[in-house]
Amino acid sequence: MAKKVQFVETVLRDANQSLIATRLPYDKFEPILETIDKAGYYACECWGGATFDVCLRYLHEDPWERLRKIRAKLPNTKLQMLLRGQNVLGYAHYPDDFVKLFVQKAVENGIDVIRIFDALNDVNNLKVAMEATVKAGAIASGTISYTTSPVHTHKKYVEMVNDLKSMGASTICIKDMAGIMGPQEAYDLVSAIKDAHPDLPIDLHTHSTTGLAFMTYLKAVEAGVDIIDTAISPFSGGTSQPATETLAYALRQLGYEVDLNDDATKAMADYFKGVRDEFVADGTLMPKSMATDTQCLTYQVPGGMLSNLLSQLKQMNALDKFDEALVETPKVRADLGYPPLVTPTSQMVGVQAVRNVLDGQRYKTVSKEIKAYCRGEYGQTPAPIDPAIQKQILGDEQPLSVRYADTLEPIVDKTRQQLAGVAKCDEDVLSYIAFPNLAEKFFAERKEKEENCVTYTITEC
Ligand code: CO
């Protein structure tokens, strides 16, 4: 029997985020939602990541309402969101009561699959969100933030999968956020996880940035991967995912079963071509984002980080230090215990490398983020932080001995009371905790428009 490969469509979330800074308003994709629903995807990734922030900040949309509208138009397709573990949709760690309520409300408003990851792969930062997802009746997709280092061995990744499974993961996602995973690495890692957990479905997520993605997916499929993340062709390639239709075509030719409806994907491609052209015309979609960039294969740092390094050095009039900063970057990463280079650790490591080079002395100047990292506020690092450097940064201060979130006071009830008369529902309370200034502004605008959040009522204030 032909092995089946399933697809997650990313056009509404990751492709939108990677190519056009998440600027796709609901109205622009509403007309095509019913067609997406007929296409036969495993899931449609449409929420979480930066979508929540951008809805409030730039699009003047209530992210919760957006989710409910998508849900109503896609009754037959699982809706997926991306959640940053204990950081939910932000960069700070939140108390557990917020994480739990956020997950519960996301599921109540229509989410079926929650992909939960942590920048350090510390499972203690995933546990509360994973358990809340299972409790709410949704699919918890336990996620590995993929990176390479001497301590990121297959054995270690398989151990992480064991932990994720025991926390209730019903699928595993390997998330290659930088597009640095090559075909052989994909084959070997998927094989290692499949050997240990033959019945646990695996989803591979990568980006086309370096041009490896099609080959990487193909070898992952040969190793038994069950689900791949792709974007409809007009929103594919470059910093986005590889094209849905291309992979469907190639995999069918190779004898795999692909349940996508070609009429529906064709209609989607026709539709999104028009949308793409609008974003090209107004300059939001830049040619650079669509191009192949192999620099990060040479330097082994994600593409976004290279451009950050360049712009930092430019600001400081020190572009001549670029090569030195590039050499310093992997050294800082090693000192800090080999964190995966993903937001926010990529910025922290990059800024520190530049500092070390410009100061002519290592760790003379340290950001408050690096200090917090050394205190253990971001979680357990993949390898121990270099003890001498940790001591140099922390002085007599002791690193945390417990999970950082355990030191935080509950926040939900307090905020409900604070927002009495302003918040119309718990969703409002959650938006406010996540992005207080943006939510406040949004509530004021909404009041003006006299919009209502009729379906949900405040339960406890
Ligand atoms: Co991604």
168-204 per-residue burial string, b: 16 or more CB within 10 A, e: under 16: bbbbbbbbbbbbbbbbebbbebbbbbbebbeebbbbb
Mean pLDDT confidence for 181-202: 98
In contact, 354 and 313? CB cutoff 8 Å: yes
Q: In this model, does residue 407 exceed pLDDT 90? A: yes
pLDDT in tens, 340-354: 988 789 889 999 999
Q: In this model, does residue 460 exceed pLDDT 50? A: no
pLDDT in tens, 286-330: 888 898 988 888 776 776 777 788 888 999 899 999 899 989 999
Q: In this model, does residue 132 exceed pLDDT 70? A: yes
Chain mean pLDDT for the chain: 94
Residues lining ion ligand 1 (Cβ < 5 A) are: 14
> How far, in Å, is the centroid of ligand 1 from the Cα of 132?
23
> How far, in Å, is the centroid of ligand 1 from the Cα of 239?
9
Q: In this model, does residue 46 exceed pLDDT 60? A: yes
> How far, in Å, is the centroid of ligand 1 from the Cα of 207?
6
Q: Give CA–CA dist 70/110, Å, rounded.
A: 8
> How far, in Å, is the centroid of ligand 1 from the Cα of 311?
23
Mean pLDDT confidence for 53-61: 95
Q: What is the pLDDT of residue 386?
A: 98
Q: What is the pLDDT of residue 342?
A: 84
Contacts of residue 182, defined as CB under 8 A and 6 or more positions apart, other chains included, come to: 212, 215, 216
Q: What is the pLDDT of residue 454?
A: 53
> How far, in Å, is the centroid of ligand 1 from the Cα of 82?
9
Q: What is the pLDDT of residue 343?
A: 79
Q: What is the pLDDT of residue 459?
A: 45
* Token code pair at residue 279: 């974003």
* Token code pair at residue 240: 């986005």
What confidence tier does 452 reach under pLDDT thresholds 50, 70, 90?
low
How much of the chain exceeds pLDDT 90, in percent? 86
> How far, in Å, is the centroid of ligand 1 from the Cα of 101?
25
Which range (166-180, 216-230, 354-368, 447-461) has the least confidence? 447-461
> How far, in Å, is the centroid of ligand 1 from the Cα of 424?
33
Q: What is the pLDDT of residue 1?
A: 75
Q: Give CA–CA dist 207/202, Å, rounded.
A: 17
> How far, in Å, is the centroid of ligand 1 from the Cα of 176?
7
> How far, in Å, is the centroid of ligand 1 from the Cα of 18?
8
pTM: 0.93
pLDDT in tens, 80-118: 999 999 999 988 899 999 999 999 999 999 999 999 999
| Residue position matching structure tokens 């109540």 | 108
Mean pLDDT confidence for 432-450: 91
Q: What is the pLDDT of residue 158?
A: 98
At 452, which amino acid appears?
N
> How far, in Å, is the centroid of ligand 1 from the Cα of 151?
23
Q: What is the pLDDT of residue 364?
A: 96
> How far, in Å, is the centroid of ligand 1 from the Cα of 457?
34
